[in-house]
Structure 1
Amino acid sequence: MSTLRFRWLALVGLVAGLAGWLVNWFATRNGYGTPALPLTSLVTTAAIIAITLVFGRRVLRWRNGRRDRPLDPLLALRTLVLAQACAYAGALNLGWHAGILVDQVALASVRSTSLPVWGSVALMAGGTVMIMVGLVVENFCRLPPDDDGTGAPGHTEGEYA
């Protein structure tokens, strides 16, 4: 399985940001509400982050030598996929709400409340944390390079657990 590419995360964030800006621009100019997630979605974001960290910690403990139980390879693979999905969802969340923020900042002088601005900032922070946790847990799933004991240079990059 390939590693996360920062370019893909950035591309997902930029496309989501453009889409968020366009949808918000259309919605606010036609009398609709701001198309942002409610702040209660941060609870769900925190739960996803916690679950990803719990599974990642199990793989990390096994990788670092605490092998009192065998590690199920499917658990390790699912943890890796969860970490990558967490990072992509974070990029999507960050980009979408950054696009909304750009339009909301421009409307700040005519709005009576700044709640959409602060809501977007909070959800962008949640997306940033999701990206970071996804990248960290993906790194937890990487096995160190094998040492074949021949004294010759071995692999310089490990594989996934």
Structure 2
Amino acid sequence: MQPVRISRLLALALAVALGGWAVLLVLAPQGIRPGPVPVLADAVVLVIAAGTLVAGLRVRSYLRGRRPGLDPVVAARTAVLAQAAALTGALLVGWYSAQVLVTVGDLEIAAFAARARAAGAAVLCALVLGVVGVVVERWCRIDSPHDDEPGDGQPA
């Protein structure tokens, strides 16, 4: 499994933001606008980020020798969870950014200002999820201890 690249995450967030913004702009004249982002959505994203962080700390402790006996399958699942969190965070940052962009022109209307604030808070929560995913994925990386030894295809 290749680690996720920051540039890929940024490109994904930007593509979703622009695509979502375009779709929401097309739907707005028909009276179709996104509803406010519920606080529960932010809470769920933050709980997933916290769970990913806790799982990553267990793997990090094991790799530093402080936690003996961690099952390798658990470590692999944690790495997959971290990558999924990073990708999901990027997708959500893009989607909620699109919602902010579509309401930015109507901030003088109280309801739209509230929607923009709720979507902005959701962007921050999704950003936390993405950053936690990237960090935990880096923690789960194992460097081979035998890379420098002769006989592994490298000159002595």
| TM-score clears 0.5 | yes
Separation in 2, partners of 1:66, 1:149: 25
Give the drift of 1:30.
1.2
Structure 2 residue runs of 5 or longer lacking an equivalent are none
Which residue does the alignment assign to 2:42?
Answer: 42
Give the whole-Å Cα distance in 1 for the aligned partners of 2:148 and 2:138: 25
Q: Do the aligned partners of 1:23 and 1:35 also contact (CA within 8 Å) in 2?
A: no
Residues 96 and 149 (structure 1 numbering): CA distance in 2 closer, same or farther, change over 3 Å?
A: closer
Q: Which residue does 1:119 correspond to in 2?
A: 118
**Separation of aligned partners in 2, 1:12 and 1:148:** 34
Match of 1:98? Answer: 97
Tell me the percent identity: 33
**1:128 corresponding residue in structure 2:** 127
CA 1:10–1:148: 2 relative to 1, 3 Å? closer
Range that drifts further, 116-125 or 35-44: 35-44
Q: CA deviation at 1:149?
A: 8.2
Counterpart CA distance in 1 for 2:56 and 2:72 is: 13
Q: How far apart are 1:16 and its partner, in Å? A: 1.0
- Number of residue-to-residue matches in the alignment: 150
Q: Output the CA distance in 1 between the equivalents of 2:116 and 2:85.
A: 24
Residue deviations 1:88-134 (CA, integer Å, cap 9, x gap): 1110111111122112111224x233111101110110111011101
Root-mean-square deviation (CA), in Å? 2.1
Question: Deviation string for 1:10-60 (max 9, x for gaps)?
Answer: 121012101221232233221123156422101111110111011111101
Change (3 A) 1:149 1:124: closer
Return the letter of the residue paired with 1:98: S
What is the 5 A alignment of 1:2-151?
2-34=2-34, 37-68=37-68, 70-109=69-108, 111-113=109-111, 114-146=113-145
Contact 1:10 1:91 (C-alpha < 8 Å) held by counterparts: yes
1:28/1:34 contact within 8 Å kept: no
CA contact (8 A) 2:93 2:127 kept: yes
Contact 2:37 2:115 in 1 (8 A): no
Counterpart position of 1:157: none
The whole-number CA distance in structure 2 between the counterparts of 1:65 and 1:73 is: 14
Amino acid at match of 1:27: L
